[in-house]
Chain A
Amino acid sequence: MSLDLSQFIPTFLEESFEGLELMESSLLNLEHGDDETINSIFRAAHSIKGGAGTFGFGHVTDFTHLVETLLDEMRDGRREINNEEVEVLLASVDCIRLMIEAIQNDDDYDPSSIEETSERLSFLLANGEDTDGSGNNVAADEPMLLGKIWQITFIPEHHLVQTGNDPLLLFNALEDLGELIVLAKTEQLPSITEIDVEELYIHWQLTLMSDNASEADIREVFEWVEDECELDINLLSDDTPAPPSSVDEQPVNKAPNTITDDSETIEELPSHLNEADVALEQAASKALAEQEIAAENNAPAQSSSSQPTQATKPAAKTPAPKTQAKGKGDTGSIRVGVDKVDSLINLVGELVITQSMLSELGNDFDLSKVEKLTAGLEQLLQNTKELQESVMRIRMLPISFAFNRFPRLIHDLAKKTGKDIELIINGENTELDKTVMEQIGDPLVHLVRNAVDHGIEPAEKRLAAGKSAQGTIWLDAYHQGGSIVIEIKDDGGGINREAVFNKALEKGLIDVNASLTDQQVFDLIFEPGFSTAQAVSDISGRGVGMDVVKKNIQALGGRIQVDSVPGEGSTFKVYLPLTLAILDGQLVKVGDEVFVVPLITIVESLQAKADLINRVSGDMVLYRLREDNVPVIPIFELFNLPAEHQTVDNALMVVVEADGQKVGLMVDDLLAQQQVVIKSLKDNYQDVAGISGATILGDGSVAMILDIPGIISMAQKIAAEKQAERIANYSKALEGAVN
């Protein structure tokens, strides 16, 4: 029975990464931890070790084994859990991740850090409380620490499985008591033509190595099948080193599984054997014999994978071939909840029904059936819409995927900076598009790092300011309108307005007399000029690469906003579109052209009232929107289009906001709101100023999607050009007058 294991490697890798993440987050919570947390860490480590063994990644197995041993001592309460251990374990998680990543990328890794960590682990193990013979949970390759060895002969009656008992479960239970070696005896197997697939012909020779299991414990396991088997339990030796050197390092598929497979094979065979083809029978029994050998080979090997208690289960699970081999190859994969797939299947089913209804209707259609047709089309519309939403949901992942790394990050940073910081995460179930998630990770890390570095003050400063010594950082994600908001908030010192202002002045970004709102001042920290290391040390912080953060967020079609109260802390709000491929748009008309305004940017739409329009400094048109004066951008002028409304008076205005700047876009008409699929113009053409892409409307025509930040900068550029021209003309006129 040869099985190509390599196809399961991607699954193993994926599960290992999950396991590592679990270990990491559990380790960070260990301070307030309980047994369950340690157990779950242990289970994860054990799964990784088991899987690595199966696939022959010996270096991972060896290393993980050390980790496991340490964890085991903690689990038994033989070792105190203190910071040192947690640190080493965290470093170990990094090491395992390094090794697994190397496997994934078919790459080499730097062994030095692994050697170092493994030395630290060994040192801890050597100096920890010694396993003084009470090593209940000693790992397999330390056989000297084993206790009693029990020899169990288990001969079940042939009808055992018919009573609903499964030997496999019994063996699993036995494993909880100690190390188990399972040997299947198949002498009693009848010839293939005589076999009854519902009968059990195999019996087992079990060797259990355990230091504290009593005969009663073992009998208890077999309690349910007591009357249906012959059971013989012998104590072979006490405190003897475990003999079998055949105990392999590599856990292989469970022997009982193999045997189950046998019976499946057998199940299929009789049908082919109806004519009692002798040759076939021989071949079959030969195959059986081979499998028998395989089973026997597998059986002892399995023991090393079996660790006591709960560890057994994941160990058995990891190497078990899962049918959905999720390739984490080049294409990238996504883990989707079955419920999402189910709902898709349901919807497709409904769609098919609607389709068949419509095509039946079309067979002999006359006008009397128009109502039915309308109903059918309506249903189709509904189906399609739901289908679209469901498909989109498949790409959505809870934001916890991005948030998961932060507890560790905070832990490390807090240690490095010597600050005491608590991280509070909310809304981790908010779902976000996978692509957005992948790209938002780094900017978020940057923001969190900044909050720790520059936001939270050192303890003494906090105490002096009347705050608690422990700083807090909040990470929050929630929906707002059609977008996702990620909030990074700290209760630190806030941004020093004056320092930022002076720095900007020094960099020549602003004029000395400029009167800026707080918002505008805070936005200055996103200027490239603030990203030098020197700036960080000069001002209260928030400097490092903030321009890059902003650029990355904008590349995702999002925006970032800063709020800060001196002495109370700062809040960074990142607004992101739900997905990159689709946006909610407001269709507007300018002349004959239809444009799409992203709904996320729209503040409000209104009809301009003539008396609220002010013209200032010559030709700048401002519209008074409550307290704000909003500059008006006539789209038709910007794009050189013929338009119905050439003046602002009574024109329709869509007030949009980008980069904290509100502007009013003058349009001729407001049309429907709809979701549009964004298509790139660059694929076949090139980027166009003021346009972020195109989309196809319901009637098949193409509409341009407006790029609001781009439009604003376009308008600014045009205004600046006009101004320069005017000044040139003016000075020319002046010269003329002088001469």
Chain B
Amino acid sequence: MDIQALAKDIPVEGEYSLEGIDFITSGEQYLTFLLENEQYAVDILCVEEIRSWEKPTRIPNSPSYVKGVINMRGVIVPIIDLRLKFGIGKPEYTETTVVIVLSYESDEHSRTIGFVVDAVSDVLNAEENEIKNAPTLGGVIPHHYVDGLVNVGDGVVTLLSVEELQQIEAHSIG
């Protein structure tokens, strides 16, 4: 098929299906991942890469959720085990265990940190009005890490704030 014609055919907004493939052109996109069968998501634009688990080099006397550092094309990237940090899921390293490397640029500096999760699952498309505030009623994840909740089918996905995730030294929870 002529690619030009195809491009013309794709509507500016909304969903479009072509031969079984979904094109999504509106809203923000989020990468969802699993922590002990719970769905979480982060802004996909912050995802630098997804790596398979490899044993990092330990950082002496660091908290247990800091697994160490790896060499990512010459950059020293610390690896945080999200399951340990939030206390969800077993810190097991299986074949689906992956490291999501997130980059976040703030005004002062930019940071790249890898987060160990059980598995990546999907790309979620969510409009702003679909994101609901999370109720402040318990839960293991400190409230400031949560940007909101999104309903997906019957389930709920928790959107995590990349900005907050990057502040590892600011609020270390055991």
> Is the beta-carbon distance between A593 and B58 smaller than 8 angstroms?
yes
- The answer to whether A684 and B112 have CB atoms under 8 Å apart is yes
Distance in angstroms from B128 CB to nearest chain A CB is 30
- B60 adjacent to A688 (CB under 8 Å): yes
Question: Which B residues touch A680, using CB under 8 A?
Answer: 76
> Smallest CB–CB gap between A157 and chain B, Å?
67
Closest to B59 in A: A688
Residues on B with C-beta less than 8 A from A639 are: 60-61
Taking a contact as CB atoms under 8 Å apart, the answer to whether B71 and A702 are in contact is: yes
> Which residues of A have CB within 8 Å of B61?
639-640, 688-690
Whether the pair A685, B59 counts as a contact (CB closer than 8 A) is yes
Nearest Cβ distance between residue B89 and chain A, in whole angstroms?
Answer: 23
Other-chain residue from A593, A640, A701, A704 in contact with B71 (beta carbon distance below 8 A): A701
Contact between A684 and B76, CB atoms less than 8 A apart: yes
B60–A684 CB distance below 8 A: no
Known: A681-B69, A700-B71, A701-B71. A641 touches B60 (CB 8 A): yes
Chain A residues closer than 8 Å to B3, beta-carbon distance:
none
**Contact mask B44-68 → A, CB, 8 Å, 1/0?**
0000000000001111111000101
A688 to B78, CA, bound (A): 12
CB < 8 Å neighbour of B60 from A640, A683, A685, A701: A640
B46–chain A nearest beta-carbon distance, Å: 14
Contacts of B113 in A (CB 8 A): 684-685
Decide if B1 is an interface residue (CB 8 Å cutoff).
Answer: no
B174 within 8 A of A: no
Is B139 interfacial (CB-CB < 8 Å)?
A: no
* Contacting pair B59 A681 (CB below 8 A): yes
Residues from chain A with a CB closer than 8 A to the CB of B123 are none
List A contacts of B78 (CB < 8 A).
Answer: 681, 684-685
| CB–CB B76/A702 < 8 A | yes
- Are A694 and B57 interface neighbours, CB within 8 A? yes
Q: Are B60 and A690 touching (Cβ within 8 A)?
A: yes
B70 at the interface (CB under 8 A from A): yes
Q: A670-703: which residues lie under 8 A (CB-CB) from chain B?
A: 679-681, 683-686, 688-691, 694, 696, 700-703
Query: With A680-B76, A685-B168, A686-B168 in contact, is A702–B57 under 8 Å at CB?
Result: yes
Asked if B77 is at the interface of the complex by the 8 Å CB criterion, the answer is yes
State A696–B71 Cα separation when bound (angstroms): 7
A310 and B55 CA atoms in complex are apart in Å by 70
Q: Is A638 an interface residue (CB 8 A)?
A: yes
Residue B153 at the chain A interface, CB threshold 8 Å: no
Size of interface on A: residues with Cβ below 8 Å to B: 23
Chain B residues in 8 Å Cβ range of A641 = 58, 60
Give the complex CA separation of A688 and B66 in angstroms: 12
Complexed CA–CA distance, A88 and B76 (Å): 55
Chain B CB within 10 Å — which of A679, A685, A690 has the most?
A685
CA–CA, A686 and B113, complex, Å: 12
CB distance from B166 to the nearest CB of A (A): 9
Expressed in whole angstroms, the Cα–Cα distance for A703 and B112 within the complex equals 18
Residue of A593, A638, A686, A690 near B57 (CB, 8 A) is A593
**Distance (Å) between the CB of B152 and the closest chain A CB?**
31
> B75 an interface residue at 8 Å Cβ cutoff?
yes
Inter-subunit contact A683/B111 (CB<8 Å): yes
What is the CA–CA distance of A593 and B59 in the complex, to the nearest angstrom?
A: 10
Q: Does B74 interact with chain A (Cβ within 8 Å)? A: yes
- State which of A689, A700, A702 has its C-beta within 8 Å of the C-beta of B69: A702
B112, A696: Cβ atoms under 8 Å? no
Query: B60 near A638 (CB under 8 angstroms)?
Result: yes
Q: How far is the CB of B163 from chain A (nearest CB, A)?
A: 15
Report the separation of the CA atoms of residues A685 and B72 in the bound assembly, to the nearest whole angstrom: 14
Verify if B169 is at the interface (C-beta below 8 Å from A). Answer: yes
Residue of A nearest to B70 (CB): A702
The closest CB in chain A to the CB of B111 belongs to: A684
B101-114 vs A, CB cutoff 8 Å, 1 = contact: the mask equals 00000000101110
Task: Name 6 extra pairs, CB < 8 A, besides A639-B61, A685-B169.
Answer: A681-B76, A684-B75, A684-B78, A690-B60, A701-B57, A702-B68
Binding site for A on B (CB under 8 A): 56-62, 66, 68-71, 74-78, 109, 111-113, 168-169
9 smallest CB-CB distances across A and B, nearest first, come from A639-B60, A702-B57, A685-B78, A686-B169, A679-B76, A696-B71, A694-B76, A702-B71, A702-B69
Chain A contact residues, CB within 8 Å of chain B = 593, 638-641, 679-681, 683-686, 688-691, 694, 696, 700-704
- List 9 A-B pairs, Cβ < 8 Å: A638-B60, A639-B60, A639-B61, A684-B112, A686-B168, A689-B60, A702-B57, A702-B69, A703-B57
